[in-house]
Amino acid sequence: MIRVAVVDDHPVFRLGMAALLDSFDGVRVVGQAASAAEARALLGLHPGAEAAPGAGPDVVLMDLDLGGGSGVDVTRELVRADPAARVLVVTMHEDDDAVVAAVRAGARGFLVKSASPAEVERAVRAVADGAMILSPSVADRAMAYVVGGRAAARVPFPQLTDREREVLDLVAAGLDNASISRRLVLSPKTVRNHVANVLAKLAVRDRSAAIVRAREEGLGTAR
């Protein structure tokens, strides 16, 4: 059973999406939220609290514009609290900045609200299975962003924060967590959390697979 939470400030869309999801075999809506505050309460995101990995819904459908709050911010907080969290952003916006912001925040998928029921089902199942998915229109824009005029500014793994990318660079260079902790003057727990975030965002099973991916992108040269 895929457990899904729906976060959207438009009641008609939210209720309609919940009904659609409940009609899919093996999918159950386990919670709904109409604002960033409600989403934080639903997902257990309280100041100082650390979510238990796997304790929340399997997939969170997240609107970007929550009327007084940002779905990007909630996504970022959720992924930081639980690196295994899987967020599927559902929005009307298809601009480049929205794509980049959602992915950098840790979203596993990006789907426009005009998507068909079949596309919604495929996206939910794919994200629940650990894949990363973009709608065709968003994929076209993302590709144009990478190969277009701003290609020179491209950084590897844009879904990672700067600190996570720095940690991955050191991991790819062969440093263990203790060495990274000393190098970056971070606590061992913080380094472990960053490594866990990296593995989740790259959708890889272990450190070795992350090293391979990182070196393919030119990381691992840190000394």
In this structure, the answer to whether residues 34 and 66 fall within a common structural domain is yes
The per-residue pLDDT for 8 is 94
Q: How far apart are CA 26 and CA 161, in angstroms?
A: 34
The per-residue pLDDT for 6 is 96
CATH value at residue 136? 3.40.50.2300
pLDDT-based confidence at 221, cuts 50/70/90?
Answer: confident
Domain boundary (104, 124, 148) is at: 148
In this structure, the answer to whether residues 16 and 67 fall within a common structural domain is yes
pLDDT digits (tens, 9 = 90+) for 122-161: 999 999 999 888 766 666 666 665 565 444 445 678 788 8
The per-residue pLDDT for 151 is 46
Mean pLDDT, rounded, for 21-37? 95
pLDDT digits (tens, 9 = 90+) for 188-210: 999 999 999 999 888 888 999 99
In a domain, 64, yes or no: yes
The per-residue pLDDT for 152 is 43
In this structure, the answer to whether residues 78 and 135 fall within a common structural domain is yes
Is 12's pLDDT higher than 90? yes
In a domain, 6, yes or no: yes
pLDDT digits (tens, 9 = 90+) for 39-48: 999 998 866 5
In a domain, 154, yes or no: no
DSSP state for residue 113 in the 8-state scheme: T
In this structure, the answer to whether residues 137 and 175 fall within a common structural domain is no
**0.75 exceeded by pTM:** no
**Closest alpha carbon to 88 in 101, 77, 103, 70:** 103
In a domain, 222, yes or no: no
In this structure, the answer to whether residues 135 and 169 fall within a common structural domain is no
Kindly report the number of other CB atoms within 10 A of residue 205's CB atom: 10
The per-residue pLDDT for 172 is 93
Q: Which two tokens stand for residue 95?
A: 């601009």
In this structure, the answer to whether residues 135 and 170 fall within a common structural domain is no
In this structure, the answer to whether residues 127 and 168 fall within a common structural domain is no
In this structure, the answer to whether residues 76 and 6 fall within a common structural domain is yes
In this structure, the answer to whether residues 60 and 30 fall within a common structural domain is yes
CATH value at residue 210? 1.10.10.10
pLDDT digits (tens, 9 = 90+) for 55-81: 579 999 999 888 777 888 899 889 888
Q: Among 61-65, 94-98, 115-119, 207-211, which stretch is predicted with the lowest mean pLDDT? A: 94-98
In a domain, 153, yes or no: no
Instruction: Provide the b/e sequence for 151-185 (b: ≥16 CB within 10 Å).
Output: eeeeeebebbbeebbbbbbbbbbebebeebbebbe
In this structure, the answer to whether residues 7 and 69 fall within a common structural domain is yes
In this structure, the answer to whether residues 90 and 112 fall within a common structural domain is yes
The per-residue pLDDT for 137 is 62
The per-residue pLDDT for 147 is 60
Residue found by looking up tokens 């065709």 in the block: 136
Q: Among 115-124, 150-159, 168-177, which stretch is predicted with the lowest mean pLDDT? A: 150-159
Domain of 201 in residue numbering reads as 162-217
In this structure, the answer to whether residues 33 and 141 fall within a common structural domain is yes
Task: Name the domain count of the chain.
Answer: 2
The per-residue pLDDT for 196 is 93
Domain boundary (106, 125, 148) is at: 148
